[in-house]
Structures are given as C-alpha cells and as structure tokens.
C-alpha cells in the first residue's frame, strides 16, 4: 500500500450493514466511512438506530449481514481478539457505567493491567495523568457514587483513553447530566477533537455538532438519510425528515 492509499483508508468502515431485532429492521443498508481524525456527529429521532449502530462498531451488538472494518480489519468474532478490539474502540455511554465497587483510580487502571498486562505502577501513573487531563485527579481514591454525574462521565472518558483507542464512540454522553455539568464533559470532548482523536458522537448538543464536528450523519428509521458538513446539514437539509427534525430540535 502506498502512502496515499494509507492516508485515505478509512479507520472505521461500515458496508451494507443490516440488523434486525426480531421483526424490527433497525439498521438498513448502513454505509459509512470514518477517516482518521474525523469528528462525526450522528443525530436523528429516537429509535432511529443511532445507539445500535454505535454498539455494532465495538461488537456489543452483532450484525445480520454486511461488513464492519476497523483500520482495514474485519471485527473479530470472540476471544482475545474481541477484547483487543474493545480496547481499540473506546466507548462512553449515556448512563455512567463505571464499576461501582472500585475506586476512580482502579476504574481507569483495570483494563491496562488486565488487557495490556501493564505493571500496576505504570498503569497508575498513566491513569493519574489522564484523570488530571479531564480534571478529576483529586477524586482518584473516591468511589464512583461519591462523584457528580459530570465527574463520572469524565472518568469514563479517561478510562477509555487509558487503552489508547483508535476511535472513541460517544452515545449521548451528556443527556443524563444536569445542565450545569454538560459543558464540563463537552469541553473534554472538544479538547479530544482538537487533539485529532477520531470520534463518533451521538449527541443532541447542536452547538457541539456545529462547531466541532467535521461531518454530520442524520439517521431516521434505521437508515442514513443525509451526510454532510455541519454547514450543509444545518443550513440546507435535503430531506423532509431532516427539516422536520431540525425544526423541532432548534426551536428549543
């Protein structure tokens, strides 16, 4: 492969992905290429398949047909390779999913020690650096329940970053937060974007989408209906579904 091809090879590629839950057709012929450094924002009505699409990318959901590749490699089916994939694809969910019975520090060191076989001291140094980066290093010895939602989400981001992921998936990371905590999490995401992290973000934070995303994907009824730059999408949506969605969301 020459340098030019390497530069254009997508980091994440979904081709003709189909997924059903019983009779419900949730992902319909999804085709998506995410390049290194892209900040992709996925928006769309509730139930349109945004979370399911994210979950297929680190194989929390299987797909019925089609193909998903990370850095050119098809997703592994199981075992060690799957654990490795999960490490390469960092994920932050809407609900804070820290391990409740472990300290903040242990939450961040667990995977580097278990999956990467890092020495405890090295993992702790790494974790403290990341906790400082997201502004919660002073909370390291606390339990998750002692932190605010915004702090917990920042720990969840640090925990994902500890595995040096190739791509970060965010599924509505701020939607369960009290309003005053939303910005502290968005600020960390903005910083990651400026550091060229490849990011796929499901979010209804339109300010973030407009300012930080380089591409917007609009999903409805299990399909990608529109894809474009924030300017193209917000200024000139093409489909009635997108126009209708935007008119609802932007009047708030």
Ligand X SMILES: Nc1ncnc2c1ncn2[C@@H]1O[C@H](COP(=O)(O)OP(=O)(O)OP(=O)(O)O)[C@@H](O)[C@H]1O
Site residues (vs ligand X, CB under 6 A): 21, 24, 26, 44, 46-52
CB of 190 to ligand X, least distance (A): 22
Q: Is residue 56 a contact point for Mg ion (CB under 5 A)?
A: no
Which 3 state secondary structure label does DSSP give 67? strand
Closer of 49 and 165 to ligand X (Cβ): 49
CB of 122 to Mg ion, least distance (A): 36
Name the pairing type of β-strands 223-228 and 215-220: antiparallel
Residue 138 near residue 170 (C-beta atoms within 8 A): no
CA atoms of 202 and 181, how far apart (whole Å): 18
Residues near Mg ion (CB under 5 A), total: 1
CB of 51 to ligand X, least distance (A): 3
Q: From the list Mg ion, ligand X, none, which binds 10 (C-beta under 5 to 8 Å, kind-based)?
A: none
CB of 154 to ligand X, least distance (A): 22
CB of 220 to ligand X, least distance (A): 9
Q: Is residue 51 a contact point for Mg ion (CB under 5 A)?
A: yes
Nearest to 47 by CA among 200, 179, 245: 245
Secondary structure in 3-state letters for 143-189: CHHHCCHHHHHHHHHHHHHCCCCCEEEEECCCCCCCHHHHHHHHHHH
Closer of 44 and 150 to Mg ion (Cβ): 44
Nearest to 109 by CA among 141, 147, 149: 141
Closer of 10 and 47 to ligand X (Cβ): 47
- Given the rule CB under 5 A, which residues bind Mg ion? 51
């Amino acid at each position: 492969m020459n340098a030019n091809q390497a530069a254009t090879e997508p980091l994440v590629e979904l081709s003709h992905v189909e997924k059903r839950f019983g009779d419900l057709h949730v992902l319909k012929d999804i085709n998506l290429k995410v390049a290194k450094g892209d900040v992709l924002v996925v928006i769309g009505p509730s139930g349109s398949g945004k979370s399911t699409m994210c979950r297929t990318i680190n194989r929390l959901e299987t797909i019925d047909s089609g193909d998903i590749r990370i850095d050119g490699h098809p997703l592994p089916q199981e075992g060690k390779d799957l654990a490795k994939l999960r490490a390469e694809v960092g994920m932050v969910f809407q609900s804070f999913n820290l391990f409740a019975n472990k300290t903040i520090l242990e939450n961040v060191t667990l995977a580097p020690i278990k999956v990467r076989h890092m020495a405890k001291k090295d993992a702790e140094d790494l974790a403290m650096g990341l906790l400082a980066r997201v502004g919660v290093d002073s909370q390291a010895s606390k339990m998750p329940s002692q932190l605010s939602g915004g702090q917990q989400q920042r720990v969840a981001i640090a925990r994902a970053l500890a595995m040096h992921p190739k791509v970060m998936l965010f599924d509505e990371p701020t939607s369960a937060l009290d309003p005053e905590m939303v910005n502290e999490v968005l600020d960390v995401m903005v910083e990651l974007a400026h550091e060229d992290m490849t990011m796929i973000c499901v979010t209804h934070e339109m300010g973030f989408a407009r300012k930080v995303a380089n591409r917007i994907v609009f999903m409805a009824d299990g399909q990608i209906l529109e894809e474009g730059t924030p300017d193209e999408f917000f200024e000139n949506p093409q489909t009635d579904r997108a126009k209708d969605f935007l008119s609802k969301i932007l009047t708030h």
